[in-house]
């Protein structure tokens, strides 16, 4: 269960076997069935989640009452509601398993304890957050600078395996258009 996390950390920083064992001893592994929620609005987010297996989605309900997916979390990705996690205020988002999913939960106090014991984890988390922030910036660029069809074509070219795993209505929500529009784009192939 913890092997994917340790491999991920080792992509960014050095980690001894003893440090890896310490990390594993402090964390919680959790399993969620398809459609099960890790977080719902009104609840306080208690952890940052590393996806070991499966797929998560983070979404809001917009003013029209529609789901708007803002993030996905695949294997090797982190996903949480940082606003709620940091402020300890109730969340406004849903965090749900799209497939049967296994995650490793890093609670803030445990993360601080582990960073104190293994200082290079601070570098690891900084690098992971920088990459996540860069991806968010790129997503904003795509929303403002590319047509709906260009966004879909880019996404399907660069992430074909992901497109096969995600229901089409979720993909459309993430890319910012309706499932009907996605069907029209796909029909043009």
Q: pLDDT class for 189, splitting at 50, 70, 90?
A: low
Residues 118, 159: one domain?
no
Residue 157 counted as domain residue: yes
Domain end call among 103, 132, 161: 132
Phi-psi region of 48 (alpha: psi -120 to 50; beta: other; left: phi over 0): beta
Residues 25, 101: one domain?
yes
Residues 123, 72: one domain?
yes
Residues 43, 81: one domain?
yes
Residue 114 counted as domain residue: yes
Residues 110, 173: one domain?
no
Domain end call among 132, 162, 179: 132
Residues 51, 122: one domain?
yes
Residue 109 counted as domain residue: yes
* pLDDT of res. 102: 97
Residue 150 counted as domain residue: yes
Q: Quick: pLDDT tens for 11-34.
A: 999 999 999 999 999 999 999 999
Residues 155, 126: one domain?
no
Residue whose C-alpha is closest to residue 162's, from 179, 148, 174: 174
Domain end call among 83, 100, 132: 132
Number of domains into which the chain is organized: 2
Residues 67, 112: one domain?
yes
Give the distance from CA 149 to its chain's centroid: 24
Whole domain around residue 172: which residue ranges? 146-189
Residues 152, 127: one domain?
no
Residues 34, 103: one domain?
yes
Residues 69, 19: one domain?
yes
Number of other CB atoms surrounding residue 50 within 10 Å: 25
Residue 138 counted as domain residue: no
Cα radius of gyration (the chain): 18
Q: Is the pTM of this model over 0.85?
A: yes
Residues 127, 156: one domain?
no
Q: Are 72 and 43 in contact (CB under 8 A)?
A: no
Q: pLDDT class for 160, splitting at 50, 70, 90?
A: confident
CATH number at residue 120: 2.60.120.10
* pLDDT of res. 164: 86
Residue 153 counted as domain residue: yes
Tokens of 140: 């904003």
Mean pLDDT score, 107-124 = 97
């Amino acid at each position: 269960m913890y092997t994917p996390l340790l491999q991920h950390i080792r992509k960014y920083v050095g980690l001894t076997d003893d440090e890896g064992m310490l990390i594993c001893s402090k964390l919680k592994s959790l399993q969620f069935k398809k459609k099960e929620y890790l977080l719902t609005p009104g609840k306080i987010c208690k952890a940052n989640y590393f996806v070991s297996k499966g797929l998560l989605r983070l979404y809001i309900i917009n003013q029209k009452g529609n789901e708007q997916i803002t993030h996905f979390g695949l294997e090797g990705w982190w996903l949480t509601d940082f606003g709620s996690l940091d402020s300890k205020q109730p969340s406004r988002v849903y965090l749900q398993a799209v497939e049967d999913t296994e995650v490793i939960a890093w609670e803030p106090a445990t993360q601080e304890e582990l960073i104190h014991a293994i200082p290079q984890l601070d570098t690891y988390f900084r690098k992971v957050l920088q990459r996540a922030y860069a991806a968010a910036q790129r997503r904003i660029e795509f929303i403002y600078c590319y047509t709906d069809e260009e966004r879909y074509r880019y996404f399907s070219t660069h992430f074909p395996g992901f497109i096969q795993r995600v229901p089409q209505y979720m993909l459309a929500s993430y890319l910012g258009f309706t499932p009907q529009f996605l069907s029209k784009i796909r029909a043009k192939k």
